Chains A and B, each alone.
Chain A
Amino acid sequence: MIAFITGLSLLSLQDAHTLPARSSAWSARSGFALLRIDVPSIPVVPVLTGGVAAERGLTDAVDLGIRYQTDLGYNHLLGPELQIRALKGGNWAAGFHTMAFVRIAGTTEEGLSLGGEASTLASAVVGWRGPRSGLVVGAGPNLQWLLFERLDGEGFVDALPWLASVDFSVEYAWATPWAKALSVRLEAAIPRAPDDPFRVLGAHPRVLFGGHFGGRSLDQEQAQAGYPDDDRQAEQHQDQERNDRANHVEDGALEDR
């Protein structure tokens, strides 16, 4: 059980574009991680994974949030995260994302057996936002500060810092009428331990599909930045035409009276 806990990465690198000051947003993602298990007939197992996050813009360049993620509803990760936008130019932004988290899993069989870790992820992220879509890539180390487990009433703690993995991610998001954006995200955590039994092609890959709500929509981002948006201009033109037609009908009705 503990090997499962320590061998599986749940890290999630985030966006480079921060929220406007004093605005809030939340997101939900779900997908699957691929694991290798010790069964010849089932070499790779997809494991249901996902989570939710809420964040608040402290300034236009700094966000503070909290994130919960899980694998199988069994492996739980919870912690605060901080996102800083360091550079912004045109459609591009670059910054840092860090998250301190506690991961825990266990059972109540024969008393309480559990294990987990306290770690931090510090990553560099670079993002691009177009008229109705966005792309963000990130990379950073996952430092494990504390590893703990309790089995059959006996506890074990390893407080030696350890570079557990290096995480990479790429996420593509697109605007929708009913949410800030939908997204698809690919992650690969490359564990440093050479004998990690769960690796698939040398990494812990994950695919996530997400919905992002609140904050400012991609359309609004573009309006704020003043980027041309042919679709929005076309919609505004159609709205104007509808208003003109409605006014024309109303005028006609008044004349009939």
Chain B
Amino acid sequence: MTAALFIVCGFASSADAAPIGTNTTPGKEAELHVEGGMASALPTVLLGGSLGVSDRADVGVRAVTHAGLAYSLSLRGRLRLSDRFGVGLGLDESFYTLEEISGIYAIRAPFGNRVAATPELNGSWTSGAGVDLGWSAGSSVGLLTLEEEADVVRRSASLSVETLHAEVGAIWPGDRGRTVIRIRAIVPISADLHLLGYIPWVGIGRVWGLK
């Protein structure tokens, strides 16, 4: 049980989190993102910022922690193809801040401790009640992983689809920004641990425009 929770939190940290939908940051404007939530059994905090490159594209950085035990840092670019669809691509590094917990060594955990690419397809629509909704579907593709050999830990290239994810959320525009609630389901692919299910992540966040 403890092992599962630990591994799950580490795994969830490997999933990048972005403001949902196709709404990119407007050109020559900046936005600040703050989000609190829960992934499986641990609280999460996300801090991020993005810069509008044009009215259809932005770039951003994000940091996510899971109770301070695991971290994910990412760079991300997004492109709005239309009002309803968009694409994104991130580069994400995740790591643990502790070496061992309850007999499980972080270096041997099947999740995290790697650099990954995170391609994503985004979508937006408006509900009948006038609520802006967004969705995304994507994956985490491992590029570099940490490996332990004798007394040496080193990075090695390793290309593999680690996870798939789907996400839905709602966005409420306000006077000074947007409030976002999102639910993400993460499905492990390459890890040895295969549950009949998914890893849930719920977050409530706020996006402020910085003109």
Contact = CB atoms under 8 A, between A and B. Distances in A.
Partners in one complex: yes
Interface stretch (B14-22, B73-81, B116-124, B197-205): B197-205
Contacts of A105: 196-197
Which of A46, A48, A108, A114 has most chain B Cβ within 10 Å? A48
A212 to B, nearest CB: 11
A114 B196 contact: yes
B41 A50 contact: no
A20 interface: no
Contacts of B201: 48
A165 interface: no
Contact of A72 (B2, B8, B129, B194): B8
Nearest to A39: B2
Interface string B40-64: 1101000000000000000000000
Nearest to A109: B194
Contact of A30 (B131, B194, B202): B202
Nearest to B172: A178
Contacts of A179: 129, 131
B41 A47 contact: yes
B1 interface: yes
Nearest to B200: A73
Contacts of B194: 107-109
B196 A106 contact: yes
Contact of A107 (B5, B193, B198): B193
Contacts of A4: 1
Contacts of A109: 192-194
Contacts of A159: none
Contacts of B183: 30, 50
Nearest to B5: A45
Interface in A16-56: 30, 32, 37-39, 42, 45-48, 50
Interface size class of A (residues with CB under 8 A): 20 to 34
B174 interface: no
Contact of B195 (A39, A42, A107): A107
Nearest to B131: A178
B97 interface: no
Which of B129, B185, B196 has most chain A Cβ within 10 Å? B196
Interface residues of B, number: 27
A213 B129 contact: yes
B38 A108 contact: no
B113 to A, nearest CB: 21
Contact of B197 (A32, A37, A76): A76
Contact of B41 (A46, A104, A106, A114): A46
Interface string A46-70: 1110100000000000000000001
A48 B2 contact: no
Given A37-B2, A39-B2, A70 B200 contact: yes
Contacts of B172: 178
Interface in A90-142: 104-109, 114
Contacts of A38: 1-2
A199 B194 CA distance: 27
A70 B197 contact: yes
A213 B129 CA distance: 9
A227 interface: no
Contacts of B1: 4, 37-38
B129 A48 contact: no
B31 to A, nearest CB: 23
B112 to A, nearest CB: 18
B39 interface: yes
B200 A50 contact: yes
Given A47-B40, A48-B38, A73 B199 contact: yes
23 contacts: A30-B183, A38-B1, A39-B2, A42-B2, A45-B41, A48-B39, A48-B41, A48-B200, A50-B183, A70-B197, A72-B41, A72-B199, A73-B40, A73-B185, A73-B197, A73-B200, A76-B197, A105-B197, A106-B195, A106-B196, A108-B194, A108-B196, A178-B131
Interface of B: 1-2, 5, 8, 38-41, 43, 102, 129-131, 172, 183, 185, 192-202
Given A48-B201, A73-B197, A107-B195, 8 more contacts: A32-B38, A37-B5, A38-B1, A39-B102, A48-B38, A72-B8, A107-B193, A178-B130
